[in-house]
Amino acid sequence: MKKIIVTGGSGFIGSNLISLLLKKKYFVINVDKLSYSANSYNVKNFKKNRNYLFYKTDINKTSKILQILNKHKPIGIFNLAAETHVDRSIDKAHHFIRSNIVGVYSLLEAIRKFENNKVKKIKLLQISTDEVYGDIPNNKKADENHNYNPSSPYSASKAAADQFIKSYSRTYGLKIMIAHPCNNYGPNQHPEKFIPKMIFNILNNKPLPVYGNGKNVREWIYVKDNCEALLKIFLKGKNNQNYNIGTGIRLKNTEIAKKLLDIAKKRVAAKPNKTKIVFVKDRPGHDERYALNSKLIKKEIRWKHKISISYGLLKTLAWYSKNYNYFKRISKKNITKRLGLKI
């Protein structure tokens, strides 16, 4: 049975990815330090699976990662361990530098030490982001050769990690690939993020806080589509290549909020009559628009998203309504000050 390490597997995308990998009969080793954004609820379904193993470890611990590599000899690593909330990076960048830059350096060092004198190499798939390209003007799209132009401490930390990874490929011959997914949504996402926050407020008949004028455009992908793309890149991608993972579904924040409200009005028993969009003070440095050119993944990897935004949002709203306890598991002290959720 082929073994794969997923770092950050107790978070949003990581837990959805593990679920896919287990279905595809991989043996999955989850390495997660269990920060505030991890949730035991996310991994409850595979905790007892014989093909699943968990290490509570920080990717900064090179010697521990090396031990895990030596013991299990996996075919590859999907690195999703990261600090991920832009607002938090604006409040304090320290943790972002530590996990997203130094953590990646430590992981690279562990791989380098593991590969010393070994003929067989393991593949590292780094999960970067579309945010490294920065603001993309209207009618333009960023392909994989677009300049890095990060705007927030979060995206700057992800951009720095990508550069380290590239340098380790060139200097030490590590086998690496870098994925740039657009904004993910779906089950298991921490409620401080935009879509779960909107859903929580809809379910509680509260106003929907949207930054600035609400016109910021994001490209959206249902998390399961993204995980399928990641696995395909891992299996079919070229060494040392970056791959954008986009859908072309680009919507303003207000459009997402309105779509969720419309779905809820039709589907949710307790009607969100008092729920309406309210505009709040904008995020500093807020990027106006992200837009990916994803021709490469379509042509080379033969991947295309399957889930439409209407169906994806419906599924997401249904999941959060059914798993309302998810919100309750998030303790008050872990909620960001900006646009804070009051539970």
Task: Write out the residues near ligand NAD by the rule CB under 6 A.
Answer: 7-8, 10-14, 32-35, 37-38, 58-60, 80-84, 99, 103, 127, 129, 158, 181, 183-184, 190
Contact 121, 115 (CB under 8 A): yes
154: annotated active-site residue: yes
Nearer to ligand NAD, 158 or 224 (CB): 158
Nearer to ligand NAD, 86 or 272 (CB): 86
Q: Which of 32, 83, 87, 131 is catalytic?
A: 131
3-state secondary structure of 247: coil
130: annotated active-site residue: yes
- Please state the closest distance from residue 189 (CB atom) to ligand NAD, in A: 6
Q: Give strand pairing partners of 124.
A: 77, 176
Nearer to ligand NAD, 210 or 292 (CB): 292
Distance (Å, rounded) from C-alpha 307 to C-alpha 9?
A: 23
Rg of the chain over all Cα atoms, to the nearest angstrom:
19
Contact 48, 73 (CB under 8 A): no
Closest residue by beta carbon to ligand NAD = 11
- Please state the closest distance from residue 135 (CB atom) to ligand NAD, in A: 16
Contact 276, 208 (CB under 8 A): yes
Distance (Å, rounded) from C-alpha 135 to C-alpha 149?
A: 8
Nearer to ligand NAD, 191 or 272 (CB): 191
- Please state the closest distance from residue 303 (CB atom) to ligand NAD, in A: 16
Quickly count: other Cβ atoms within 10 Å of residue 342's Cβ: 9
Per-residue CA distances from 182 to 125, 271, 283 (Å): 16, 31, 19
- Please state the closest distance from residue 38 (CB atom) to ligand NAD, in A: 3
32: annotated active-site residue: no
Nearer to ligand NAD, 8 or 153 (CB): 8
- Please state the closest distance from residue 84 (CB atom) to ligand NAD, in A: 4
Length of the chain counted residue by residue: 343
Q: Give strand pairing partners of 142.
A: 292
Q: Which of 130, 135, 219, 228 is catalytic?
A: 130
Q: Which of 154, 168, 243, 320 is catalytic?
A: 154
Contact 288, 223 (CB under 8 A): no
Residue 291 tokens read as: 């837009």
Quickly count: other Cβ atoms within 10 Å of residue 14's Cβ: 27
List active site positions.
Answer: 130-131, 154
